[in-house]
Structures are given as structure tokens and as C-alpha cells.
Amino acid sequence: LGALGPLYSRVEQQLNETLRRRRHAGGDDYNIEVLLGVDDSVVRFHGKEHVQNYLLTLMNIVNEIYHDESLGVHINVVLVRMIMLGYAKSISLIERGNPSRSLENVCRWAYQQQKSDPSHSEHHDHAIFLTRQDFGPAGMQGYAPVTGMCHPVRSCTLNHEDGFSSAFVVAHETGHVLGMEHDGQGNRCGDETAMGSVMAPLVQAAFHRYHWSRCSGQELKRYIHSYDCLLDDPFEHDWPKLPELPGINYSMDEQCRFDFGVGYKMCTAVLAPTFLAATPTSTAVTPFRLGVVLLSPWFLACLLCQWCYKGHCMWKNTNQMKQDGNWGPWTKFGSCSRTCGTGVRFRTRQCNNPM
């Protein structure tokens, strides 16, 4: 009977290798398997009992941002491991006012956590580190190496956690690691920054208005085929199940506290045009600015018996995610298939109304 142990292990390993097969490069989906590192400042702010569900919700939002059709490539952000650091380790990694050294420390730490066996269920392609410590000048929100994806040491990002809006910072910094540059810097997409492009030098994307610029899509397609680690089929992980609409679990007062700190609540004045609060909204390698969070008129109508869903007021309905979609708008016609004679031009529409 003792001899059956090694045999069982070999069979189990073969089964795992079968389940985790590497697809050919022409596969439709790319999977970024993520190690999420969280320092003590984040754990203490959200509380040990609540921080895991908060982080799962945050990563779900990041995943949704990468599912936006404007990206042009289907990328899944898959959380494979979460590590919460103690106080001593947290302060040893983050050097106040030194983003380069802090990023270097975080990337080295992530490398040390890597599982040596690529077929291990917790082997990661990319590390995302969250902190509420100030690692750079005031307003610096993130720092990342460009085109570092799949590299054993350079596939990592350092992000300042400021509530659910931090999902756009995480998506932005991970975009750098995938090879994307700032819109309008070295490319011709500066016109898209005011419309909420994720890779704007100053992150102005919001839940009701965000997209990936045409330059981000082009830059991603230039590099994506070289990132072989993204071709793995991820394992199933036994994370706690979250509601289909993640915001259900968090009141507006809680979300204000996440973004601005203890003592902040949602402004309930009927005619108030803004939240009387400001928060840094810049990225790591650009000057910062303070952004005032606007409370738009349509949001006020959402306060009673409605909720805000993808930027629109919807009547509260537990079956919100189960609606049948209708046809969305047609795209513009593409170029003709031939330069002379008879050719064909195509246009498409999707069944995405409502999303």
C-alpha cells in the first residue's frame, strides 16, 4: 500500500497538467493570473473581517475594466493568491518619497513569493501590490515598469489604494506592464483623455465613463503575442462568492469613507453640486492634481428606490443582470475589401442593450 502514494501523486500531477493545458497562440482569451499583495495599512483601514471581500470586489472591477470592448483584446484578470502583510514587513517595503525603491522592493518581494512549479495553482504571471502609505510625492497613485509582463521580476505594479476608484489606477498601471503608454504622450490619442480613457496621464476615468483609447488597443496588440504566460488556462479558486452587482454590499457612506477617509459621508443636500472633498487622481510618472468628485443631477434621482448601474439610474431589481439584451448601435462601415471593381464593406452591431 505504501507504494501507491508516489503513483497517486504522479497520476494527480498528470491530471493537473491535462486540466492546465497551454492553448495555441491563436486563442481568443488571455489570462493574467494575479498575486495580490496587501500591506498592513490597507488591512487596518478596512478591518481584518471585511478586507478580503473588499479586495475581491476591487479585483472584480479591474476585471470588468479589462473586459470593456474598446480594448479590442479579451483579457481576464484572475486572482490566484492573496497575501496580507504584517506591519513590520509593510514598512520595510515602502520607502516614503521614493517610488522607484518602493517598486523595486515590492517586485523583489513578489518574486520571492513565486511558486517554482509553473503548473501550481498559485503560480502567478503578475503581482499587484496595494498600500495606503505614501510612496511618492503627494498625489502619486501608481508606479510600474513598462512591458514587464511575464518577466520574473518586472511583472508587478505598486498602487495607492483609495477605495473602489483605485480599480482604474490598478488597470492603468497593469496597462503599462502590458506595454501601453500614456494617451497623448508619444502617440496621437491626447484627444481621448478628457473622455475618460484609462491610460490618460491623469486618470479621469470613472465608473460611468471610461474606455481604452485606440492607441492603448494598438500598443497592446503590438506586445500581447509575446506574453506566453498569459496563454495558460487558470485553475478554479475557492474564493467567497460575491453578489453579481458588487456595489450592493457597500453603502455610499462606506464608499465615501473608502475614498476620502474616516469622517466622510455622502452629501445629502438636495441641491449640492459637489462632494466637498478632494482626492489625488494622478498616476506615478506624471505631475499630480487634485480632483473634486462631482455629484451630478442624475445621481440625485438614484437615491430613492434606484441604484446607479454603469452610469445610469435603474430601478432596484435583484434580476438586473438577467435581462435579455437588444441590439446596440451599428458601427461605422469598414474599408472596402478591394481598391477597384466590386468590393464589400462591413459593419457590425452587438446584442448589448442593456449591457
Where is the binding site for Zn(2+), in residues? 172, 176, 182
CB atoms within 10 A of CB 307: 16
> How far is residue 150's CA from residue 323's CA, in Å, rounded to a whole number?
38
Reference 27, options 225, 170, 264; nearest CA is 225
Where is the binding site, in residues? 172, 176, 182
With a CB cutoff of 8 Å and minimum separation 6, the contacts of 84 are 38, 40, 43, 51
With a CB cutoff of 8 Å and minimum separation 6, the contacts of 223 are 147, 149, 178, 179
Name the catalytic one among 33, 104, 161, 173. Answer: 173
| Segments of the chain assigned E as strands | 29-38, 74-84, 126-131, 142-143, 156-160, 274-280, 290-294, 306-309, 312-315
DSSP secondary structure letters along 254-292? HHHHHHH-TT------TT--EEEEEEE-B-TTS---EEE
Tell me, rounded to whole angstroms, the distance of Cα 153 from its chain centroid: 20
Answer yes or no: 173 catalytic.
yes
What is the grid cell recorded at 87?
506591519
Q: Which residues are identified as catalytic?
A: 173
